[in-house]
Amino acid sequence: MKLKTTLSLFLAALLLLSCFTGCAGAEPTGTTAGNQPQVRNNEPASAEVLSAVTNAKPLGFTAFDSQLVEYLKQTGKADENFTVSPLSFKAALTMAALGAEGETQAQLLAALGFRNLEELRAWYSTVLAGADNFEAFFAEMEKENAAYQSEFPGFSSSAANKERQSAYRVVNSVWSNQELPGEFRQSFLDDIAKTCRAEACSAKAAELADAVNAWVKEQTNGLIPSILDDASEVSAVLVNALYLKSGWESSFRKLEERAFTTVSGETVQKPFMGKTSRLNYYSDEKTQLVRVPLQGGMSMVFVLGDDTNLAEKLSKAESRLVELTVPMFDVETSLDKKELVNYLRLLGCDRMFDGQKAEFDPMYTSSLYVGDIIQKAKVHIDEEGLEAAAVTALAMYAGAMMPKPEEPVSFCADRPFSFYVVNGGETPELLFWGQIVK
């Protein structure tokens, strides 16, 4: 029997945001779940939790996304401010699936919602296309600004300044430990280079953590400074870094601090931002939402109340004059105590965690299994834009026309709300989800 060596698979996802201000009446939110059954981070989920997750209310993105959000609420996050990057998580699992075979690969594909590798590759190509289109948007803007400046040398604009600060990239790398048995197979490296645009690196055992951390810090512009503490026992590392920074299409004004009612009913003071602008808006007896565009085709959605079938509700949103008031916030979450491992187990994906059964031979010349999955996520919004970061790690052993004057509708997030960061495609991809409840 082969001795199982160590592989740590780490992915980093970063996103940048900004904030809002202003307030008026809104409906109560449904971002918390009251007395829901919960599991401890490092314990198997109960049948009650399994039922809640598998029957999670649809958000309108993928089942994987909806069930992940429900699972995190069930495991102690329902009454906490938190954020997660489903895209970062799925990107890490994509590289793992490309390096797996047999039942291990079949379980990974099923958990991700794909029937075969061709569907997985097609999905990931849309992820890369989203980043490419974002960069193309700003490259064209820069070209137009340069042409205008050549014709009018004194021309300068705030848009040009924002453009130079905007970025969205999805990048991958794989790292091998030079002092432990095994190495990446060339066929795997060729595959992830083509499918994921991944680069291959290696380092000595004592230097591997520092090398990976330096790469993560650079790719996330310092928002995620490190992901590995000690890699001396790690055979290999797979890293995905997703980074987004963008300003609002029209900025907010900063407001004074005002009251925010928490999920427990207490009142706290928070800094707010606000604007009155024409935005896509939807409301019914249970939901109030507004979609706020970011430069480059991204957008941030703020939801008060029930977010079931969010994508469908977004499709019904209409252009309205909205008086928007939202708190500026920073939210940071670490998922590092088997939460994500147990989530995948709930989806029937358990073979990859078994040291005797995991099948990663297409990836590496020594036998491997996944020991843990870690994600760190951070989101900041203010009146100028959005900034956020997420790092997911899989540790493997031996992530128009002017309208007529009208009365604006009011959207005031002065009580618990959820937020989504999505791209602008026909089928929106959920980059970040989170909630502010206190």
Neighbours of 80 (CB within 10 A): 16
pLDDT recorded at residue 154: 57
Name the more confident of 249 and 166. Answer: 249
- φ, ψ dihedrals at 129, nearest 5°: -65, -35
How far is it, in rounded angstroms, from Cα 228 to Cα 216?
10
pLDDT recorded at residue 357: 94
Overall residue count recorded for the chain in this entry: 438
Name the more confident of 283 and 158. Answer: 283
pLDDT recorded at residue 156: 52
Name the more confident of 188 and 55. Answer: 188
> CA of 427: how far to CAs of 70, 279, 392, 408, in Å?
21, 20, 24, 29
For helices 186-196 and 86-98, angle between their N-to-C axes, nearest 10 degrees: 150
pLDDT recorded at residue 50: 84
pLDDT recorded at residue 180: 86
Q: What is the mean pLDDT of residues 340-368?
A: 92
- The answer on pLDDT for 79 being more than 80 is yes
CB 32 within 8 A of CB 45: no
Q: What is the pLDDT of residues 288-341, one digit of tens each?
A: 999 999 988 889 999 999 988 888 899 899 999 999 999 999 988 888 888 999
Residue of 310, 343, 94 whose CA lies nearest to 198: 94
pLDDT recorded at residue 65: 92
Q: What is the mean pLDDT of residues 219-247?
A: 84
Q: What is the pLDDT of residues 32-42, one digit of tens each?
A: 333 333 333 44
Q: What is the mean pLDDT of residues 348-376?
A: 89
Residue of 330, 289, 264 whose CA lies nearest to 79: 264
| β-bridge mates for residue 202, sequence order | 176
Residue of 246, 243, 245, 247 whose CA lies nearest to 220: 243
- The answer on pLDDT for 224 being more than 80 is yes
Name the more confident of 192 and 20. Answer: 192
- The answer on pLDDT for 91 being more than 50 is yes
In the chain, what are the domains? Answer: 7-23+34-250+329-399 (3.30.497.10)
Residue 391: band (very low, low, confident or very high) from pLDDT cuts 50, 70, 90: confident
Average pLDDT, the chain: 81
- The answer on pLDDT for 60 being more than 80 is no
For helices 339-346 and 63-72, angle between their N-to-C axes, nearest 10 degrees: 130
pLDDT recorded at residue 151: 61
pLDDT recorded at residue 395: 67
- The answer on pLDDT for 21 being more than 50 is no
Residue 159: band (very low, low, confident or very high) from pLDDT cuts 50, 70, 90: very low
How far is it, in rounded angstroms, from Cα 385 to Cα 390?
17
Q: pLDDT exceeding 90 applies to what percent of the chain?
A: 46
Highest-confidence segment of 52-56, 141-145, 196-200: 196-200
Q: What is the mean pLDDT of residues 358-364?
A: 94
How far is it, in rounded angstroms, from Cα 15 to Cα 179?
35
Residue 230: band (very low, low, confident or very high) from pLDDT cuts 50, 70, 90: confident
Neighbours of 4 (CB within 10 A): 19
Name the more confident of 136 and 34. Answer: 136
> CA of 258: how far to CAs of 22, 176, 273, 330, in Å?
9, 51, 10, 16
Strands 430-436 and 82-84: antiparallel
pLDDT recorded at residue 152: 56
- The answer on pLDDT for 98 being more than 50 is yes
Instruction: Return the exposure string of 260-274: e unless at least 16 CB atoms fall within 10 Å of the residue's CB, then b.
Output: bebbeeeeeebbbbb
